[in-house]
A and B are shown apart, each in its own frame.
Chain A
Amino acid sequence: MLKANDNNFIKKSNTLYLEEYLCPEIREVIVTIPKDIKSSIEEIRLRVNKPLMIYANNHDFFITRKGEISSSENQNNYIVSKKNIDNCIQFISDYSIYSVEEELKRGYITIQGGHRVGIVGRVVLENGDIRIMKEFTGLNYRVAREKIGISSKIIKYLLNEKKEFLNTLIVSPPQCGKTTLLRDIIRNLSNGMPDLKLKGLKIGLVDERSEIGAAYRGIIQNDLGLRTDVLDGCPKAKGMIMLIRAMSPEIIATDEIGRIDDAFAIHEALLAGIKLITTVHGNSLEDILQKKVIGDLVKDSVFQRIIILSNKKGVGTIEKIIDGDTFKNLLYCPIVNKVV
């Protein structure tokens, strides 16, 4: 039998390993992948009766039974069976599908270490709502990598002269590191930054999709700082109102806003004198201005700082930091965040 401890490739602390959540057959293949590729794996993809694939360094690779990787399909590829997927589900769900019913309805499960496994299969409906997912056909292991310190360079742009935090919006296309940046900004603000004479602030985080804190059985897996209260799995608008009333935060943080009731909650927070930091999908300021809810908020100058991300010079490149009142760029040149 394999010992998971011997071949840790996604080490987040001394005890957390992703291999434990793969079935033994696939575990055996994955641990034999060359080290340089292993350390940069972003996704491991399993699809029924299709070759096992990984996604690393912005490319996808096929894997043979011996753990060799190739960029094109060939006969030696490891073909994933239905049994492989069913067995993997057992490890992901802690041998108890009944305990992850809610997560299955959302389509993903967060596992120890904050990694997430996306799941597809046949969805059973009841009165138009998703009741349960069965007959699983595909899994996507998304490797979580905390990038501690990536926001340290930009925090100074998010403060005014009195060292007060300004309402901030992070704009980014998918896979450019917007949640990662948000997480690190939260950590820095919550801990405080002595270099900038910024004291730690109380932060209320509404983590609707458990992406920021990556809660596993209620325990936050990522470092979110000392003064952060997390409302896990709660709808954003309701969660923001709950936090305002219950936890007296100085800053409210959420991910991916865009619905009308989100705007209502944001106004409620502003009335209470609470600062905001949030993210939205988009490529540029112009792109955002065309969107209904978020566009109106930007036009009303609710956000005083708008951070635009891209992956032009690697994932997490900070293209621009725009002043929300004058719409001028505050950066002379893009900041490249070195991704390990």
Chain B
Amino acid sequence: MLFKICISAVIIGCTSSLGIIYANTFVERTRFLANLIYALQILETEIVYTNTPLPEVLIKTANKTSSEITRIFENTANILLRKEGYIFSEAWKKAIDESNNIKKINQEDKELLISLGNGLGISNTQDQIKHIDLVRAGIKRNYESSLISQKKNTRLYKNLGLLLGLTIVVIFF
């Protein structure tokens, strides 16, 4: 009997954690997008008020943010500082592709990130503001929809995990 209880606890534990892990992907996306919005704010401020060139801006911004976005910014800056002949948009795309956790980033968000890189640095300050604003509008939209799906799905998948465990236990024992 004790053995059965132990096995049941293990099964329920496992499925519940699976549920929690899956639910967390929604939280992670929201956090990533929130960080990105913050990073864009810093980027814009640096471009408008200090006119600092992009490699330096990226390093500065990377120091003030966290999550995957930091790594992308740092990688891009490193590629640019090596001066191997990559233009900005190529270096940016390379940094995104090299990022370890890129698979976790939603395809839609990734496209927005790439479009950000395609326009950065190639125009005057006014046009840079417009470009960043445009990308930010897209990211905000994604952030809001991510927040809604996070609220909806987090509890759902956590509960599903637990229920799946219970179902297995009921059926087999």
Which A residues contact B (CB, under 8 angstroms)?
1-4, 20, 23-24, 27, 86-87, 90-91, 93-99, 101, 132
Contact = CB atoms under 8 A, between A and B. Distances in A.
A27 B85 CA distance: 9
Q: Counting chain B CB atoms within 10 Å of each CB, which of A90, A91, A132 scores highest? A: A90
Contact of B123 (A24, A91, A94, A97): A97
B87 A98 contact: no
Contacts of B55: 94-95
B124 A4 contact: no
Interface in B107-132: 121-125, 128
Contacts of B87: 23, 87, 90-91, 95
Given A96-B54, A97-B123, A98-B128, 10 more contacts: A1-B84, A20-B83, A27-B85, A91-B83, A91-B85, A93-B53, A94-B55, A98-B123, A98-B124, A98-B125
Contacts of A4: 83-84
B85 A94 contact: no
B51 interface: yes
Contacts of B47: 96, 98
A42 B121 CA distance: 29
A2 B54 contact: no
Interface string B53-93: 11101000000000000000000000010011101100000
Contact of B51 (A90, A98, A132): A98
Contacts of A95: 53-55, 80, 87-88, 121
A93 B124 CA distance: 11
Contact of A99 (B51, B84, B85): B51
B52 interface: yes
Given A90-B88, A90-B121, A90-B122, A99 B83 contact: no
Interface string B153-167: 000000000000000
Contacts of B53: 93-96, 99
A130 B53 CA distance: 22
Nearest to A5: B83
Contact of B85 (A1, A93, A98, A101): A1
